[in-house]
Amino acid sequence: MESIELKYLKSMAKQYPTIASAATEIINLQAILNLPKSTEHFLTDIHGEYEQFNHVLKNGSGSVRRKIDEEFGNTLSNKDKKSLATLIYYPEEKLDLVQQTEDNIEDWYKITLYRLVQITKRVSSKYTRSKVRRALPSDFAYIIEELINEKAEVQDKEAYYNEIIHTIIRIGRAPEFIVALSYLVQRLVIDHLHIVGDIYDRGPGPHMIMDTLRQYHSVDVQWGNHDVVWMGAACGNTACMANVIRFSARYGNLDILEEGYGINLIPLATFALETYNDVNCDAFKIKYNSAYDTKNLQLDQKMHKAITIIQFKLEGQLIKNHPEFEMDDRLLLDKIDFDKKQVLIGGTWYDMTDTDFPTVDPKNPYELTPEEADVVKRLRHGFVHCEKLQKHIRFLFSKGGLYKVYNSNLLYHGCVPLDEEGNFKKVNIYGQEYSGKALYDALDHYARKGCYSHDREEKKKGQDILWYIWAGPNSPVFGKDKMATFERYFVDNKEAQREVKNSYYRFLDDENVINKILREFGLDESCSHIVNGHVPVELKKGETPVKCGGKLLVIDGGFSKAYQEKTGIAGYTLVSNSYGLRLVAHEPFESAEAAIMKEQDIFSDSFIVETYPKRKKIKDTDIGEELKESIHQLELLLQAYREGIIIEKGV
């Protein structure tokens, strides 16, 4: 036995000090391998829509309601099923309503508790007792474990189980117990959550979504371009920071920064009032919702314009410092003819709708004025030293990456950059060319340096890469030839504003290309899928999220309200369980209040994408492979004990 292996086995022996303990664990793990595969839930492009996200998370994209239907069939009316589902989603709020309207509350408690115990039994049936035990709320752990492990055929215990329910009600603990069971059902119906990018921007609640994700029992995140720009801002890249503030201003969401994260925007507001007080800001309209306070409209427009000009200057400096980014076409401030009010883009002169830029020096257009430089410095300090934002961004780094390979699925936001022939495009990253998986790995590597490196130069390179991932023409999560922000503000010409998608999007139904991508990431093309976010599927135009015969699933369907008019729906989600893959299309969500008061679940149309030939078990998953390796090592430990190579302890 090699010394390294022996050291490892000796380390294992501390946890399993006897033949009996090692053998018991082998038996336990071997049994777990034969349990059904647990349920995975895929969401993408949430874009700050907290209420809808929260509801879809609570109902598991219809998984809770399906479990209710399976358990109760025709023994419950549709009305009672809706009521039970609403209670599971919003237990405290629903209980409050019931307590005000129910004539015989004790009977309601009794009926409800029995139903919740039944549904808890069903959703916990695919897990080991130890896993369920770890999920139990501490206040009721023993009682719940007794109730959900009740055996119907054991008549002698019927009175025992009934008395538990009766006593819970008699001593006034029924409401708390109902809440505990409801959250347990939510917890058990979905075992693992995948967020395939874009938590941030457009909607009003990304900070609340991040708080929820940080508390979620099992989650991973594939960074979207809108996540990456916030990551760059939090790490200290000022171009990323300016983009984050501009986006928040554009969608009337500066409250996210000021109230959600406590970042002081007074320096920007003061500067905007002083510098842009008599400046035309018509091109900087605010796309606000009903919650927006319109008394801030004029100030927000001035702040919007001020930070946009600052952004173009900071980006220009960054592009000049990194010729390898190949983004000189985005240097447009120096292409403006202020006398003619025109700008030169791609060899063509275009009329500009606005050239009232009081801080732009035509001779040195990318230099910040002293006042702008002071604003940037103070804002950067606010981002870098915001404790809550730093926690959220560290969570994205710890739980996320640019892609994820999980249970034969390849998850990423955006695209794998391809050339015109469908080959992996070579991209220059700091003097070295990368393509395919290697490109993702290189960008991921530098992005983490932007957060964690103690070397100032390496950290700066990493932060600049975070901006490139946000807006670069060969960035996997952006996937277009340019980000035409300048043109959308100042040039009223569709051709100038046009952003050309990467060739990847022309090959979504090309099986040879999709198979090549799967192989590149080490997956078996015959049984694997790509789960893709970023570009909304326009159902209105007859587009379908299912590409390449089901090998690729595009699950961005307009979670963001800003996209729903365009897509015709409110997002796709994906559910993967032991039986197969189910794609769920959601209608727009009215509100949590409507869901509670009217027992109005989000209407979802689901269909089976794939049914497995036989039910998948844990042994067929990535976790199963890890368990098999653990069993192998434990069997080696057993052998070492029996051969006297390692001595049992405490026998």
> Is the pTM above the cut of 0.85?
yes
Taking the C-alpha atoms of residue 649 and residue 651, their distance in angstroms, rounded to an integer, is 6
pLDDT of residue 493: 96
pLDDT of residue 562: 62
Percent of the chain exceeding pLDDT 70 equals: 95
| Rg, the chain, Cα only | 28
Residues with pLDDT less than 50, the chain: none
pLDDT of residue 607: 81
Taking the C-alpha atoms of residue 532 and residue 92, their distance in angstroms, rounded to an integer, is 36
pLDDT of residue 348: 96
Please work out, in degrees rounded to the nearest 5, the angle formed at the alpha carbon of residue 206 by the alpha carbons of 205 and 207.
Answer: 90
pLDDT of residue 639: 94
pLDDT of residue 154: 57
CB neighbour list of residue 147: distance below 8 Å, 6 or more residues apart: 117, 120, 161, 164, 165
Amino acid at 353: T
Nearest to 564 by CA among 202, 213, 63, 59: 202
Kindly state the helix (H) or strand (E) to which residue 530 belongs, with its residue range.
strand 529-533
Taking the C-alpha atoms of residue 564 and residue 580, their distance in angstroms, rounded to an integer, is 28
Amino acid at 307: I
pLDDT of residue 540: 62
CB crowding 69-88: b at 16 or more within 10 Å, else e: eebbeeebeeeebbbbbbbb
What is the 3 state secondary structure string of 436-471?
Answer: HHHHHHHHHHHHHHHHHCCCHHHHHHHHHHHHHHHH
pLDDT of residue 528: 96
Helix (H, G, I), strand (E, B) or coil at 143: helix
**575 and 61 in contact (C-beta within 8 Å)?**
yes
Q: Say which residue the tokens 């032991």 belong to.
A: 578
pLDDT of residue 289: 79
Taking the C-alpha atoms of residue 246 and residue 501, their distance in angstroms, rounded to an integer, is 23
What the block records as the tokens of 381 is: 């300090």
| Domain boundaries along the sequence of the chain | 3-34+626-642, 225-418+428-486
**Rounded-to-10 torsion of CA 425, 449, 200, 523:** 50
What is the 3 state secondary structure string of 371-439?
Answer: HHHHHHHHHHHHHHCCHHHHHHHHHHHHHEECEEEECCEEEEECCCCECCCCCECCEEECCEEECHHHH
Strands 342-345 and 348-351: antiparallel
Taking the C-alpha atoms of residue 183 and residue 161, their distance in angstroms, rounded to an integer, is 21
What the block records as the tokens of 28 is: 């336990």
CB crowding 608-617: b at 16 or more within 10 Å, else e: ebbeeeeebb
**79 and 594 in contact (C-beta within 8 Å)?**
no
pLDDT of residue 597: 82
Taking the C-alpha atoms of residue 596 and residue 590, their distance in angstroms, rounded to an integer, is 11
pLDDT of residue 1: 59
**Using one digit for the tens of pLDDT, what is the confidence trace for 12-69?**
999 999 999 999 999 999 999 999 999 999 999 999 999 989 999 999 988 999 999 9
Taking the C-alpha atoms of residue 449 and residue 447, their distance in angstroms, rounded to an integer, is 5
Amino acid at 341: K
Taking the C-alpha atoms of residue 534 and residue 447, their distance in angstroms, rounded to an integer, is 20
Taking the C-alpha atoms of residue 374 and residue 162, their distance in angstroms, rounded to an integer, is 70
Taking the C-alpha atoms of residue 22 and residue 628, their distance in angstroms, rounded to an integer, is 14
Taking the C-alpha atoms of residue 509 and residue 516, their distance in angstroms, rounded to an integer, is 13
